[in-house]
Structure 1
Amino acid sequence: MTDTPDPRRALRDAFGTFMTGVTVVTTLDATGKPLGFTANSFASVSLDPPLLLVQIARASANCGPFTTAPGFAVNILSEGQKDISSTFARPVPDRFAGIDWQPGPQGSPLLPGVSAWFDCTTHQIVEAGDHVILIGRVAAFHATAAPGLGYYRGTYFTPVATQATLPTGPDIIVSAILERLGQVLLVDDGFGGLTLPTARVGRDGTFAALAALIADSGIEAAAGPLYSVYEDVARGQQHIAFRCPATPTGTPRRGAFVDLAPASFTEVTDQALRTMLDRLADESRMGNYGIYFGNQNAGRVTPVAQEKTK
C-alpha cells in the first residue's frame, strides 16, 4: 500500500492508470448516514490545485445530499469487486450493508479492498442539464497494487486478463492547447493543414503524454485545466484536451503561435478541433471558460468560471 503525500502527484499518476475504472463515489448525509453510487468514469480537472470531477443525475435521490455535503470520496474498485459495483448501481435499501467501511481523512466513507481512493473536499458544484457535476479538491490519496476493475460496453474487465479477452476500447488522444498572450500554438498535421500538438496516450497515462507534448514543443508551459472531452465515434477515438498556459517568451520547435480568433483556424482540418478552438476564442474574450462533454458532432459545454464555490 502506498501513501502519496503530494495530491498533485497522486492525481497525475493515478489518472494514468485508473481513468476508465469503475468507481463508487461516497459521502455522508446530514445525519451521518453513508451514501454512495457507482460511476464508471471520472476525470481530472486541474493539477494545481488538484481537482477531479464526477457526475450525478439530478433525478437521483442522492443528488441533494451529495451537492450539500462538505466532501466526497472516489473509491476505485479492484478486480474482485464486481458485486460492490452492482450493489451501488441498484436502488437497494442499504448499499453499505455488510461492508466494513471506514471514514477517510476528510470523513467520507472509504471501502475496503479497493485499488485506490481519493478523499476530497467539495470545491465546486456545477449545474449541467439533467446532471450535476461535483468537483472535488483532492485532500488525500491512497493506492494499492490490486488491479482495478474496468467496464466497457456492458462488460467488466481487468488489466490482468489476457489481451485477447479484453474488450476493444477507443484510442485515447490528448491535445495540448498551449496559450500565451492571446495566442495558441498550431502545428503541421502532416496532411497539408494545421492542428494542435496531439498524441496518443500510451501505457504511462494521460498526464505523461501531455507532459511529453509540452516538452516536445520547446515552450515552457504548465499542464492546465481540462477543457474538452469528446468521443470520435467514426475513428474509435476519445479526445481529451487541456489548456496549458505558456510563458510569454521562447520559440516553439515546430509550428507557430497564432491569434486566438476564428480567422486563424481556417487551415485546421479536423472539424471538431476547429470548433473547439472557435469556442476557446469566444470564451477567451469573455473570460468565462467551460468544459465540453460529448462527441465530435454534438455535446454540452458546462461553465466552470461563475458557479457557486464551496
Structure 2
Amino acid sequence: MTDPTDTRRALRDAFGTFMTGVTVVTTTDGAGQPLGFTANSFASVSLDPPLLLVQIARNSANYVKFTTTAHFAVNILAEGQKDISSTFARPVADRFAGIDWQPGPEGSPILPGVAAWFDCTLFKVVDAGDHAILIGHVEGFHASTAPGLGYYRGTYFTPVATQATVPTGPDIIVSAILERGGQVLLVDDGFGGLTLPTARVGRDGTAAALAALTHQSGLTAAPGPLYSVYEDVARGQQHIAFRCPCTGGTPVKGAFVDLAPDSFAEVTDQALRVMLERLAEESRMGNYGIYFGNQDRGQVALVSGGTT
C-alpha cells in the first residue's frame, strides 16, 4: 500500500493546474486482456481519501467493461506519445499491439514512458447523462520527470517546452465554500456585493491556492470534496469550487450566513449565486452532486446516492 501522505502529495502535484494533459485510461477484462481509451478530462475529487475521476461516454465500446471493472489506471502521456493518444482514441482492433505494458499494483495496464500514472480501485460510478464518471481510489502512483502531453483547442502541445507558443488557456479560479453549522462564509467582493473566498491559481497549483484561502480566512478548515467545475467563456476563466468544512476559528473578514436562498441575494456573480442556491437545496436534502459545464448551463452528477 502506498503511503497516504505521498499519495496526497502526488495528487496535489498532478492536479496543480486544471488542464492536466492527455491520458490513457486502462483496465483488463475478465480474461486478463488489456483495454484502454484516450481521455483529456480528469480531475482530483478528494485528497483524503485520495480520489480522482475520469469520464467515459455511454456510446463507447468499452463502457460496460469500465463501469463494471474493479480497477482502472490513469496514464498521463509524455510529450512524445501523440501516437499512443491517437491509437487509443480510434476504433483500432488491438490498441495495445507493440506496447510493452506492465500491470500496476491493482493489475491495470501501465504504459511505458508515461509522465505519470495512477493505479486505482473503482470507488464509485456516477451517472452523468451521456457519460459516466468513474471515481477511483488511488492505490499506487509514479511520476517521472518527462514533460506531459497537453491538448488544447484541437492541438497537441507540451505545456513546459512550448509554453511561449501555445494559445493562452483560461485563468484558473478556485473558490473555498467554507461551511459550518449550516452556514457558509461570504466576503466583500470589492464591488458592493458578496462572494465566496476566491483566488487565482498560481504556479504552486490548485491545492496551494485553496490552502492559502482557508488560512487567510482565519478559520480551521480542511480541503473538502470537489463541488463545481465550470468555464466562464466570456471572461476566459475556469472556476473550481471545493466544499471545506470548518472546525473552528473566527473569520478575519466576511461573515457566515445561513445556507438559504435568501442569504445569497447580494452575491453579484450569477454563477456563484446559482451554485450556492444549489448547495442550500442539496444540504437540506443531504444529497450532493458535482456540477460540470459553463457559467450558464451544465449538468450535475450525483455523488451521494450514485451507482456503485
User: What TM-score, normalized by structure 1, do the two folds share?
Assistant: 0.96
Pairwise mapping of residues 272-291 of structure 1 onto structure 2 (< 5 A)? 272-291=271-290
> Is this contact kept in 2: 1:4–1:10, CA < 8 A?
no
SS in 2 for 1:7: helix
1:77-124 Cα offsets, whole Å, 9 max, x none, are 011101111111011100000000000000000000000000000000
In the other structure, the counterpart of 1:107 is 107
1:253-309 Cα offsets, whole Å, 9 max, x none, are 111111001111000000000000000000000000000000000000111001233
In the other structure, the counterpart of 1:69 is 69
Over 3 Å counting, the alpha-carbon distance change for 1:296 and 1:203 in structure 2 is same
In the other structure, the counterpart of 2:42 is 42
Q: Match of 2:300, as an amino acid?
A: V
Q: Match of 1:24, as an amino acid?
A: V
> Is this contact kept in 2: 1:4–1:142, CA < 8 A?
no
Pairwise mapping of residues 1-310 of structure 1 onto structure 2 (< 5 A)? 6-16=6-16, 19-247=19-247, 249-309=248-308
Over 3 Å counting, the alpha-carbon distance change for 1:35 and 1:162 in structure 2 is closer
Q: Match of 1:261, as an amino acid?
A: A
Shift of 1:159: 2.5
Q: Match of 2:253, as an amino acid?
A: R
1:112-139 Cα offsets, whole Å, 9 max, x none, are 0000000000000111111111000000
> Is this contact kept in 1: 2:17–2:172, CA < 8 A?
no
- Measured in 2, the distance between the counterparts of 1:95 and 1:220 equals 48
- Measured in 2, the distance between the counterparts of 1:293 and 1:142 equals 28
Structure 1 vs Structure 2: percent identity of aligned residues? 81
- Measured in 2, the distance between the counterparts of 1:280 and 1:160 equals 37
Q: Match of 2:242, as an amino acid?
A: F
1:173-221 Cα offsets, whole Å, 9 max, x none, are 0000000000000011011100000011111111111111111111000
> Is this contact kept in 2: 1:222–1:245, CA < 8 A?
yes
- Measured in 2, the distance between the counterparts of 1:166 and 1:207 equals 24
Q: Match of 1:216, as an amino acid?
A: Q
Shift of 1:168: 1.4
Shift of 1:50: 0.7
> Is this contact kept in 2: 1:223–1:244, CA < 8 A?
yes
SS in 1 for 2:164: helix
Shift of 1:13: 2.1
- Measured in 2, the distance between the counterparts of 1:21 and 1:85 equals 11
Q: Match of 1:109, as an amino acid?
A: P
> Is this contact kept in 2: 1:18–1:76, CA < 8 A?
no
- Measured in 2, the distance between the counterparts of 1:238 and 1:17 equals 10
Over 3 Å counting, the alpha-carbon distance change for 1:18 and 1:25 in structure 2 is farther
RMSD of aligned alpha carbons: 1.3
User: What TM-score, normalized by structure 2, do the two folds share?
Assistant: 0.97
> Is this contact kept in 1: 2:17–2:201, CA < 8 A?
no
Shift of 1:48: 1.2
- Measured in 1, the distance between the counterparts of 2:18 and 2:139 equals 18
Show structure 1 runs of 4+ deviating over 4 A: none
Shift of 1:4: 8.3
Q: Match of 1:159, as an amino acid?
A: P
Q: Which runs of 5+ in 1 are unaligned?
A: none
